[in-house]
Amino acid sequence: MSRNKEKMKLVIQRVQKAKVVVNKKIVGQTGQGMIVFLGVEESDQEEKIEPTVKKLLNLRIFENDKKKFDKSVLEIKGEIMVIPQFTLFADCSKGNRPYFGQAAKGEIAKVFFEKFVAVLKKSGLKVETGVFGAKMKIEAVNDGPVTIMLSEFPLNR
């Protein structure tokens, strides 16, 4: 039964390169691949991590020789930057100040984020991250631009 809540959200951008800076220090940088903004909802289950990572790694958002989206980040041996992003759950339906009540609390979201990154690293690709809870400066050279939003999808796909 639906609880009328959103689930884990990913905003994926195809990039030529990406860099994250915290306190004027580079904490992560990648080359061609993708930057993934990850939002975790309060009721997200760890069992969704592996199928979500599989979906992410196999998304065919990179072009083949005919300029058609036909290659995954795995096929191009791309690099991935993952950024924790609770603001993906902004609810602006009332007033002008966003409400973030559906986003997982910090302790829960941090553990989920770390497990998501650990599963992603099993791919063998270079995976870099932002710093959970830090104020980050993110530089990305978008490629396309291509931006894909991925949220809840059936686990049996």
Give me the active site residues, please.
87
DSSP the chain: ---S----EEEEEEEEEEEEEETTEEEEEE-SEEEEEEE-BTT--GGGHHHHHHHHHH---EE-TTS-EEE-TTTTT-EEEEEE-GGGG-B-SSSSS-B-TTBPPHHHHHHHHHHHHHHHHTT-S-EEE--TTS--EEEEEEEEEEEEEE----TT-
